[in-house]
Amino acid sequence: CFPPGGIWTELCQTILFIYSEITYLLGTVTLCYFVLKWSCHLRCVSSFKGWLLREVRGNWIKQRRYWFVLSQDSLDYYSGPEKGARRLGTLVLTNLCSVIWPDKQTYKETGYWSITVYGRKHCYKLYTKHFNEAVHWACAIQKIIDTKAPVETPTQLLIRDIEENKFNPEVVEHIYQHNPILKYTQGPLYAPLLPFPYGSLDGKGYGSVREEAVKLFNCLQQLESAREPIPIIQGILQTCLDLRPLRDEVYCQLVKQTSYTPAPYTAAHLRYWQLLTCMSCTFLPGPTVFKYLRFHLKSQSPESEMDNYASFISEALEKTKCRECVPSWEEIQMLMSRQEMLCTVHYPGPGSCQLYISSHTTANEVCAHLSEKLGLQESKNTFALYEQNALWEQPIAGSALIADILTSFSTKESESKTQWKLCFKLYCLLDADSISVDSIEYLFLFEQCHEMVVRGQLPACEEDLQALAALRLQSLMGDFSTHTPCPPLDELFPAQGCPGTQRFPTGLLAGTLWGHTATAVHKQKVEQDMRLRSRLKEEAATVMGSILERWKGLAGYSRMDSMAAYLTIARQWSGFGCTLYESSTGSFSQKLWLGVAATSVSLYRQGEAEALESFPYGQICSYGISDSNTFKITAGDRDLLFETTKVQQNISQKHGCSSKQFFFFFSRENKSCLSQGRSACIFPHGTKNPSVISHGTQKWLLFIYWCTGQLKYISERLLLL
């Protein structure tokens, strides 16, 4: 602001110099204060001593009283507090030691509060009758542990040396030749290659992480002679999935066992490379181990089998995301031979498509491939993959790995004995009128419309439902014939338990007969159930007869004519094309349908054609998920809460799909509002489902954010002072 060389310029420079000196002085004083405070704290800790009971194991477990002294380097115990007392034991404290705090269960069982201290060679289980004393000892020991520098194993130090000298082959060769810990061995491993806390126990039936690391190396060595390696590979991968710290350890063990091998071209040696391939497609190593692994992969002999595996692993590591499931038997077989899996995807109608997938293929990639293969790229509607069985279906998230989905199918089929499959279907119907009758998309629309009819989600009168069933038969079977096998009624007509079609109460069939019920009442109930079953069979036969009569009257209808007539009847409902979710709200006692459509969200009574209320997206201010099964919509000054029903334990995931579709439709219908700054999208913490907020809410959020920043700044200044 001032001309150079003037008095004001010199004054400003002087002020800045004084300010920097004062800042430096304050920083030095603050640092000295904390150093003095910490040294005083250490002196207090170093003098921590007292009587404690220690568990001693011999022929039987017993407790003995000792005088314990905590210093900055160890926890010692003596025969007594006098000056010349004999020291009976020492536990050296390092960064890897751990302390288990007192718990109520031990107190209830023994009458003492206990703390457990794990060291490299010893484990001290200490007892006291006073809870405060146990907490003070645990805090003091933990603070000493926290002051220790991180422990580095020889393998870590050598990995660092290799990284620093990776462009000097002679130095790297010298490192390998003079350090057998980096090379293949047939002997056992007595300690992990990487540092792990002593005595850190896991709650999934495992021992300490250090013990599990040594066990895993033993499993690796068993691969060389195993007749069937896949179970061992699955077990190793499962342990790495459950115990995350062991992933880097297994990578280091595999690099060790594939370095300087005496017989590198044997099938036994290739087992290590096959496991390394499975690891690379399942877990990513940490940054340091990743660099070490990448250097190891590049150092393989060109055009060898190991080099082929190394190239495959390098490519896999660029794509790998953390898996949710251990690879299946089939996937491991394909990975061992560096091939892709064949996956079958079904689509509406009897059609299916087979395509090759890798361990990294996502649902979005499969959808894009199928859309291209079926000629659906130009469609205005959106498609998604669904996991489906005979009774239930759920859309798959676009980022989900298909390999994980197929693995989960194997688990579900073994538990429930039901067949699961992947289906490619319409996800959001944005423009039903633009679908050509000659396209496969028209078949998708017809099949999914029929699924809604069979589920009882199309409110229609009895005559229309029978007409739809007859048109379905005509489209499937052609003209009526007595020799043509007819599908069962529940594949043509809504089941009697579906909303709007229930004729008899289900409580009679659903009641449980308890052992103390009188015999007469029991017989009466059984007879009543039998009469009800016979009436249901009679009615089903009557309905089927009416459908067959209507089918006979459709002679001459082509398949396309039948489909067009079917959809014409279905389009009479104002909610045609929307996705329905069973829900309830406080304003209505009965179950409702929440219909998410391309232009609005509507609320229906189940079985009724007219909407109770409809909310165009332009009237909706915000929406979101308040908990696992509650959906909230704010329209104007009204807040509507919808609670979804849980047919199965994980049916609440279906509610998330309504939120995803809702956001898709909302953003499509309100592009102008979004561009004018009248609303915005936010992502709640821990979720992937965006919410939409108004401009006024944005101002409040910015104000709160600014206040938070100011408070954080003030708190930092106060801490310095």
Instruction: Name every residue whose Cβ is closer than 8 Å to that of residue 423 and which is 6 or more positions away in sequence.
Output: 345, 346, 347, 348, 385, 386, 387, 388, 393
Q: Do 405 and 360 belong to one domain? A: yes
Q: Is residue 24 part of a domain?
A: yes
pLDDT for position 385: 94
Q: Is residue 528 part of a domain?
A: no
The 8 Å CB, 24+ separation contacts for 27-30 are 27/720, 30/720, 30/721
Asked if residues 62 and 44 have their Cβ atoms less than 8 Å apart, the reply is no
Q: Do 192 and 135 belong to one domain? A: no
Asked if residues 609 and 676 have their Cβ atoms less than 8 Å apart, the reply is no
CATH of residue 105: 2.30.29.30
Q: Is residue 439 part of a domain?
A: yes
Q: Do 28 and 54 belong to one domain? A: no
Model pTM score: 0.75
Report CA-CA distances (Å) from 28 to 15, 32, 35, 453. Answer: 20, 6, 11, 78
**Joined tokens for residue 540:** 């089903």
Host H or E run for residue 257: helix 246-257
Which class for 164: exposed (0-12), middle (13-18), buried (19 or more C-beta within 10 A)? exposed
Last residue of a domain, one of 322, 353, 368: 322
Considering its fold, how many domains does the chain have in total? 6
Nearest to 397 by CA among 119, 661, 707: 661
Q: Do 216 and 103 belong to one domain? A: no
Q: Which domain holds residue 83?
A: 48-147
pLDDT for position 510: 33
Q: Do 412 and 446 belong to one domain? A: no
Distance of CA 167 to the CA centre of its chain: 40
pLDDT for position 186: 93
Last residue of a domain, one of 322, 352, 379: 322
Asked if residues 172 and 200 have their Cβ atoms less than 8 Å apart, the reply is no
Pairing of strands 341-346, 421-428: parallel
Cα–Cα distance, 146 to 130 (Å, whole number): 25
pLDDT for position 330: 93
Q: Is residue 716 part of a domain?
A: no
Nearest to 615 by CA among 578, 563, 657: 578
Q: Do 173 and 283 belong to one domain? A: yes
The single-letter code of the amino acid at 527 is E
Cα–Cα distance, 25 to 23 (Å, whole number): 5
Instruction: Name every residue whose Cβ is closer than 8 Å to that of residue 420 and which is 6 or more positions away in sequence.
Output: 387, 388, 389, 409, 412, 413
Q: Do 250 and 345 belong to one domain? A: no
Q: Do 612 and 642 belong to one domain? A: yes
Phi first, then psi, for residue 662 (nearest 5°) are -60, -45
Q: Is residue 220 part of a domain?
A: yes
Q: Is residue 691 part of a domain?
A: no
Asked if residues 679 and 695 have their Cβ atoms less than 8 Å apart, the reply is yes
Cα–Cα distance, 632 to 195 (Å, whole number): 48
The single-letter code of the amino acid at 138 is A
Last residue of a domain, one of 118, 147, 176: 147
Q: Is residue 189 part of a domain?
A: yes
Cα–Cα distance, 26 to 19 (Å, whole number): 11
Report CA-CA distances (Å) from 440 to 355, 367, 454, 561, 590. Answer: 19, 15, 21, 15, 38
Q: Do 566 and 463 belong to one domain? A: yes
Nearest to 90 by CA among 127, 128, 47, 119: 119
Q: Do 188 and 312 belong to one domain? A: yes
Q: Is residue 379 part of a domain?
A: yes
Instruction: Name every residue whose Cβ is closer than 8 Å to that of residue 274 and which is 6 or more positions away in sequence.
Output: 229, 233, 309, 335, 336
Q: Do 264 and 314 belong to one domain? A: yes
CATH of residue 179: 1.25.40.530
Cα–Cα distance, 460 to 464 (Å, whole number): 6
CATH of residue 439: 1.20.80.10
Nearest to 573 by CA among 548, 597, 546: 597
Strand ordering across the sheet containing 87-92: 87-92, 74-78, 61-70, 48-57, 123-128, 113-118, 98-100
Q: Do 463 and 570 belong to one domain? A: yes
Asked if residues 412 and 418 have their Cβ atoms less than 8 Å apart, the reply is yes
**Joined tokens for residue 322:** 């953390």
pLDDT for position 11: 62
* Blockwise average pLDDT, block size 10, the chain, 721 residues: 55 66 63 50 59 77 88 92 91 93 88 92 90 93 93 95 94 95 94 90 77 94 94 95 94 96 90 96 95 94 91 95 90 94 89 92 94 90 90 88 92 84 90 87 91 88 92 91 86 68 35 42 77 85 91 92 93 87 69 84 87 88 76 83 53 39 49 36 38 42 45 43 42
- Longest CA pairwise span in the chain (Å): 114
DSSP states of 664-683: HHHHHHTHHHHHTTSEEEE-
pLDDT for position 708: 47
**Joined tokens for residue 258:** 């594939």
